[in-house]
């Protein structure tokens, strides 16, 4: 079973030699320095730092991404040509200040050779410029700011392997206007760059086509009870578009049904509104039929995704969230790049170049990096929550192939909106 799965995932690539246990640290205290990154020993480890929220509001998201990365290492290799991959997982709590402090310790004390970037967009914006300026490669989850993209180009040692807030949401805005024929909607978004950009992308395309935003509602990142936000939605609005994740997403979907809105006002959102980091906590009746614009749908019928999703379910008892797929893909990129270096990282710049050059088909679909933003050109989907064999899944109903980071906007239209929403909410 495992060898056939690895064959599907790697397109027949040979399995990596030798397997060693991954070093896992919930924090940094137990993980000290173990030498220089420039070691040329035949058994020198590859030191990886991984910043994740393992406590707090985004715990489920962080755990899902960590599980995906661990499964990826299990499938693609925990060592490459005799060089063990050592991973220090640092709990940044989803807080930018904590994440930056953890990143500094990973770089200066643990002497990591690559960082798998933070999960929360505001933490990414704080960490990426520091890490990249130190010459350390960083594979980020999300493209959060123009400064981050500029640092990728300036230092040549970083990229975003998963997504940005515009590719999917501009597709969603166009679909809402042209297919659903909605003409005025309300948006609800997390009050940080992730929410501002997701809502901003949707609103930019929706209003460009002639739509109107009735009201924009912003949710603080530490809010758990969604009742006040749901109750402030105008009952006259035609539909609601939501950019929330994890616990907040689950609580919102449940509250939306409890307040009776689901029967009268269609609910749509970004990937994370109903991905598997949130969906198991959502009432099946509340989640059924909810639409998302997504770069990953766990119910995608492709052979690569089915192999991954079923393997993840076997390992963890749940289907993968978008965070799980992102972590899994990060592992494949890292191992593939290390293979080209024979596992011996004598230059972080060479490792970054090798990681940037990796192209393959992930569970979400083909992944190629844009050399403008160093973030993915990839498929985007319109997904619907359905009961599949007794389990609520996100099933793609429409596919848009090879969507650029700026989505349906032109690069010239996107750039100023991206800059604004990196630091403040959009206004429409």
Which residue ranges of the chain lie beneath pLDDT 70? 1-42
Nearest to 379 by CA among 359, 395, 363: 363
Burial of 285 by CB count in 10 Å (0-12 exposed, 13-18 middle, 19+ buried)?
A: exposed
Q: Are 221 and 192 in contact (CB under 8 A)?
A: yes
Q: What is the pLDDT of residue 25?
A: 38
Q: What pLDDT score was predicted for residue 41?
A: 56
Please report how many Cα atoms fall inside a 13 Å half-sphere around the Cα of residue 166, on the Cβ side. 30
Q: Summarize pLDDT for 153-194 with one digit per residue, the tens.
A: 999 999 999 999 999 999 999 999 999 999 999 999 999 999
The vertex-73 CA angle with 67 and 75, nearest 5°, equals: 105
pTM of the model: 0.88
From 22, 340, 384, 382, select the one nearest 178 (Cα to Cα).
382
């Amino acid at each position: 079973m495992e060898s056939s799965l690895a064959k599907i995932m790697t397109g027949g690539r040979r399995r990596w030699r030798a397997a060693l246990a991954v070093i896992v640290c919930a924090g940094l205290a137990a993980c000290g320095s173990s030498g220089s990154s420039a070691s040329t020993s035949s058994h020198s480890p590859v030191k990886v730092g991984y910043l994740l929220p393992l406590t707090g509001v985004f715990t489920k998201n962080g755990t899902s991404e960590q599980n995906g990365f661990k499964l990826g290492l299990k499938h693609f290799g925990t060592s490459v040509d005799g060089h063990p991959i050592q991973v220090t997982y640092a709990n940044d709590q989803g807080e930018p200040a904590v994440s930056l402090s953890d990143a500094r310790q990973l770089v200066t004390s643990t002497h990591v050779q690559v960082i798998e970037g933070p999960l929360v967009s505001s933490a990414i914006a704080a960490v990426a410029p520091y890490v990249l300026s130190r010459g350390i490669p960083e594979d980020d989850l999300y493209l959060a700011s123009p400064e981050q993209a500029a640092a990728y180009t300036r230092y040549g040692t970083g990229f975003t392997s998963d997504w940005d807030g515009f590719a999917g949401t501009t597709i969603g805005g166009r679909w809402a206007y042209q297919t659903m024929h909605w003409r005025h909607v309300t948006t609800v978004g997390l009050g940080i760059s992730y929410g501002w950009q997701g809502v901003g992308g949707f609103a930019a395309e929706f209003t460009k086509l002639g739509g109107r935003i009735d009201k924009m509602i912003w949710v603080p990142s530490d809010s758990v009870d969604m009742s006040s936000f749901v109750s402030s939605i105008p009952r006259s609005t035609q539909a609601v578009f939501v950019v929330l994740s994890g616990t907040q997403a689950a609580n919102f979907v449940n509250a939306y049904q409890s307040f009776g809105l689901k029967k009268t006002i269609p609910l749509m959102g970004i990937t994370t509104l109903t991905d598997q980091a949130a969906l198991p906590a959502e009432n099946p009746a509340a989640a059924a039929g909810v639409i998302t614009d997504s770069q990953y749908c766990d119910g995608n019928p492709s052979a690569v995704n089915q192999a991954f999703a079923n393997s993840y379910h076997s390992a963890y008892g749940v289907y993968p969230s978008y965070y799980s797929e992102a972590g899994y893909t990060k592992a494949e990129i890292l191992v593939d790049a290390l293979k080209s270096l024979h596992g011996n990282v004598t230059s972080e710049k060479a490792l970054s170049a090798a990681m940037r050059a990796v192209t393959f088909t992930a569970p979400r679909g083909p992944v190629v990096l844009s050399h403008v933003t160093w973030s993915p050109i990839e498929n985007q989907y319109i997904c619907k929550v359905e009961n599949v064999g007794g389990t609520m899944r996100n099933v793609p109903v429409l596919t848009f192939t090879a969507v650029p980071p700026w989505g349906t906007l032109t690069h010239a239209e996107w750039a100023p909106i991206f800059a604004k929403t990196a630091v403040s909410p959009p206004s429409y």
